[in-house]
Amino acid sequence: MKPGLKSEANRIEPLLRVTGLSKQYVQRRTFSRKELTVNAFQDVDLALFRGKTLALVGESGAGKSSLARCIALLERPTSGKIELDGEDLLTLDRKALFPMRRRIQMIFQDPASALNPGLSACEIIAEPLAIQREGTKLQRRARALQLMEQVGLDAKCERRLPFEFSGGQRQRLAIARALALRPSVLILDEALSKLDALNQALILELLAELQVSHSLAYLHISHDLRLVSQFADEVAVMYEGRIVERKKTDDLFASPEHSYTKELLATVHSVESILLERSA
Amino acid sequence: MTHRQKLAGSLVLLTSVQILILFAGFFAPYNFAVQDRQRPFAPPTTLHFMDLRGNVHIRPFVYDLEDSGKSILVSQSDSEHCYPILFFVRGMPYKIAGVFTSEVHLFGVEAPGHIFLMGSDAYGRDQFSRFLFGGQISMLAGLIAAILSLSIGIIVGGIAGYYGGWVDELLMRGGELFLALPWLYLLFAVRAALPLHISQWEVFLLLVSVMGLIGWARPARLIRGVVLSARHRNFVVAARGFGASDLYLLRRHVLPETYGVLLTQMTLLIPQYVLAEVTLTFLGLGVGEPLPSWGSLLSSLQQYYVVSSYWWMFLPALLLIPLFLVFYTAADALQELHKSVTL
């Protein structure tokens, strides 16, 4: 562990702590005894704090999305621990996990595929409440409408189907759904990458507001270092399935250690210099 | 023509055929079982508008039939006796959907006259009436067998596609076994194992259940494919993340994806099973006399003298061709529409 982090970990206990998490995919071919194993990620250690954002950057295929799905309890990791408030979630059985699921929610990259095209906006937002058997149908609808307002959608659009919304609005719909269960951890898996620059800025602003009002812990996964560094407290760099560097955002920009991080920063700088040259 | 228009057109046609069949008693001038031994193999009755004296009638009329001497009945067109066609006439009582009794027929002619729009069969029964009544049994058999097949298909295909692994392997190999089954001989074997005299309803049920139980494998495979791709959709993964049970996921998110395929399969399977019923009844495995079905209407074509002398006995078969084409058009349009929705 890096010295800078240790002091913070001592100050406050992390909300979510991931230790030694690994995921292996095993593929068996027909008519062959050979097993093909692929390591999605190995020995990942992460800590998320209330009201703080951890950005996870890395190139495509580095294992970011698999990690996100494992932490969101959508897939089972091969080994390791996911502790939420000190309780290891991976040792729980299905029944015991059921109430814990509401605490970790995930936003997908493509909102179009994450929303059932046949359900109305209100039904989509109320779905997690219905699954968790919270409130009556009427109460759930009222909560869904309230959430729509909260994420900046007009509550009059409750009957609309996902395709009737724009890309940015769809992502707001997905955020409203994720917030329905009042989670404490929100995992954003490339949640901005399918949006245009203006919508990226708007959604980022919304997320920042929600973080303060709900004291949410964010795990923001992206391949775009520049975008996530805008509001990340900490950045973890993932390279070939391992976390190679983890630092406060400013420290990372000031003194990158790993060669891949340096490369990543260099590309950000070169893009910036190109943009600067153009505007000049 | 767009697919939507094609679908609308074929659905209108199919609905009108269904209405004709459902209210066969009203549209048919005669009862399906009433015989007229004096008039076997009468040719289709011609409708006339002009009588011998050259007077034009607005209401069409028919002449009665007489023996030409060569054991073929011909229209007595030199006769003074003509029978005008009457609408909404009282005739033999019938039941609609087995409940309402009525005796009003859409059209008919007065007593000694006869109207055989599609000719009469060996017992002098009106082929047109028998065709309409026969549709009741044939279409019902097709519908029930198709529903049976699809119900098994959606259960087996849904489970195989959703759970995957060895469950999938087991169910799909089982389905292939059913595809490889020589079902015609199986049906003969099942019929042979049963007592010789069983009631019409038992025969009907046997026919329908064997057809339905054999045909589930193909729809099951298609549904499995749709389920297989649907269960990895992000909204299904997301719902699982909220803690949804398998049953909830299947009911709410996965199975609705298969409805397009189900509908298309339904429109494809119904004519297929109607044709199977026709084939089986032709071979003597279906419901027997005097109940008409489209298969039993055609079974008289097994005799050579019928084939060679009485061309109108082919009419039921000829009428089935456009009907099946409409079904396939509907299925085609449905499939195209479904494709354009999902893309």
Examine the pLDDT at A7 and tell me if it is beyond 80.
no
Among A163, A171, A181, A182, smallest CA distance to A119 is for: A163
What is the nearest CA distance from A52 to chain B, expressed in angstroms?
23
Instruction: Note whether A132 contacts B233, CB cutoff 8 Å.
Output: no
Bigger pLDDT: A5 vs A240: A240
What DSSP designation does B225 have?
A: H
Angle between helical axes of B259-282 and B217-230 (0-180°, round to 10): 170
pLDDT tens-digit profile of A131-150?
998 889 999 999 999 999 98
Cα–Cα nearest to A19, from A69, A71, A54, A60: A71
Q: Is the pLDDT assigned to residue A55 strictly greater than 70?
A: yes
CB A105 within 8 A of CB B241: yes
Position B343 scores a pLDDT of 46
Chain B: residues touching A (Cβ < 8 Å): 233-235, 237-244, 248, 252-253, 256
How much is the CA Rg of chain A, to the nearest whole Å? 20
Which sign does the torsion angle of CA B307, B310, B311, B317 carry? negative
Say whether A132 and B243 touch across the interface (CB within 8 A).
yes
Residue for token digits 């803690």?
B243
Mean pLDDT of the A52-64 span: 86
Q: Is the pLDDT of residue B322 over 80?
A: yes
State the pLDDT at residue B75.
Answer: 67
- State the Cα–Cα distance between residues B246 and B265, nearest whole angstrom: 25
Cα B100–chain centre separation: 23
Is B243 within 8 Å of A108 when comparing Cβ atoms?
no
Give residue A11's pLDDT.
Answer: 62
| ipTM computed for the complex | 0.83
Which is nearest to A58 in space by CA: A261, A195, A267?
A: A261
Show me where the domains of chain B are located.
45-115, 132-342
B97 or A110, greater pLDDT: A110
Q: Which residues of B touch A108 (CB under 8 A)?
A: 234, 238
Query: What are the tens digits of pLDDT across the range B45-64?
Result: 878 787 777 777 788 888 77
Q: CB–CB of B243 and A131 under 8 A? A: yes
Q: Are A194 and A169 spatial neighbours (Cβ–Cβ below 8 Å)?
A: no
Say if strands B48-50 and B56-63 run parallel, antiparallel, or are unpaired.
Answer: antiparallel
Q: Angle at CA A8, nearest 5°, toward A2 and A12?
A: 140
Question: Cα separation of B120 and B118, whole Å?
Answer: 7
Q: What is the count of residue pairs from A and B with beta carbons less than 8 Å apart?
A: 42
The helix (run of H) or strand (run of E) holding residue A55 is: strand A53-57
Residue A248 · residue A4 · CB < 8 Å: yes
- The Cα-based distances of B247 to A128, B156, B219, B223, B254 in angstroms read 15, 14, 21, 16, 10
- pLDDT tens digits along B159-212: 999 998 899 999 999 999 888 888 778 878 887 887 777 788 888 888 888 888
What is the topology classification, in CATH, of domain B132-342?
A: MetI-like fold (1.10.3720)
* Amino acid at position A239, single letter: Y
What is the secondary structure of B102-164 as a DSSP string? EEEEEEE--TT----TT-B-TT--BHHHHHHHHHHHHHHHHHHHHHHHHHHHHHHHHHHHHH-
Average pLDDT of the residues in A60-85: 88
B232, B234, B252: which to substitute to probe chain A, counting the most A Cβ within 10 Å?
A: B234
Q: What percent of chain B has pLDDT over 70?
A: 94
Give pLDDT tens digits for B61-96.
887 777 666 666 666 666 667 788 888 888 888 887
The CB-based long-range contact list for B110-115 (8 Å cut-off, 24+ gap) reads B110/B83, B110/B86, B112/B64, B112/B83, B113/B62, B113/B64, B113/B83, B114/B36, B114/B39, B114/B42, B114/B45, B114/B62, B114/B64, B114/B65, B115/B29, B115/B45, B115/B62, B115/B83, B115/B85
- The span from the first CA to the last CA of chain A, in angstroms, equals 43
Subunit contact B234:A110, Cβ cutoff 8 A: yes
CA distance B157 to chain A (A): 21
Name the pTM for this structure.
0.79
Q: Is B125 exposed, middle or buried (0-12, 13-18, 19+ CB in 10 A)?
A: buried
> What is the per-residue pLDDT for B340?
65
Distance from CA of B214 to the nearest CA of A (A): 30
Cα torsion angle, B266, B272, B273, B274, sign: positive
- Alpha-carbon distance of B273 to B204, in angstroms, equals 13
Of the candidate ranges A234-243, B248-257, B300-309, the one whose mean pLDDT is the lowest: B300-309
Q: Does A132 touch chain B (CB under 8 A)?
A: yes
What is the spatial distance between Cα A227 and Cα A101, in angstroms, rounded to a whole number?
A: 28
Determine, for residues A116 and B248 on separate chains, whether the beta-carbon distance falls below 8 Å. no
- Asked if A65 reaches chain B (Cβ–Cβ under 8 Å), the answer is no
Q: At what angle do helices A137-150 and A167-179 cross, to 10 degrees?
A: 130
* Min Cα separation A95/chain B (Å): 9
Q: pLDDT, tens digit, for every residue of A148-201?
A: 998 888 888 888 888 889 888 999 999 999 999 999 999 998 888 888 888 888
* Gyration radius of chain B over CA positions: 25
Please give the Cα distance from B260 to B230 (Å, whole number): 13
Which pair of structure tokens corresponds to residue B226?
Answer: 């749709």
Structure tokens at B171: 């169910």
- Give me the CATH code for the A3-279 domain, please: 3.40.50.300
Q: What is the layout of strands, in order, in the sheet containing B82-84?
A: B48-50, B56-63, B82-84
CA distance A140 to B195: 60
Strands (E), A78-124: 79-84, 87-88, 104-107
Name the residue with tokens 């997905």. Answer: A174
Q: What is the pLDDT of residues A257-279, one digit of tens each?
A: 888 888 888 877 777 777 777 77
Interface test with B, best of A26, A98, A109, A116 (most B CBs within 10 A): A116
Looking at residue B148, its pLDDT comes to 95
Nearest residue on chain A to B243, judged by CA atoms? A98
> Quick count: other Cβ atoms within 10 Å of Cβ B15?
10
Mean local confidence (pLDDT), A240-253: 85
Contact state of B242 with A132 under an 8 Å Cβ cutoff: yes
Q: Is the pLDDT of residue A124 over 90?
A: yes
pLDDT at B68: 64
Cβ contact, residue pair B235, A181, below 8 Å? no
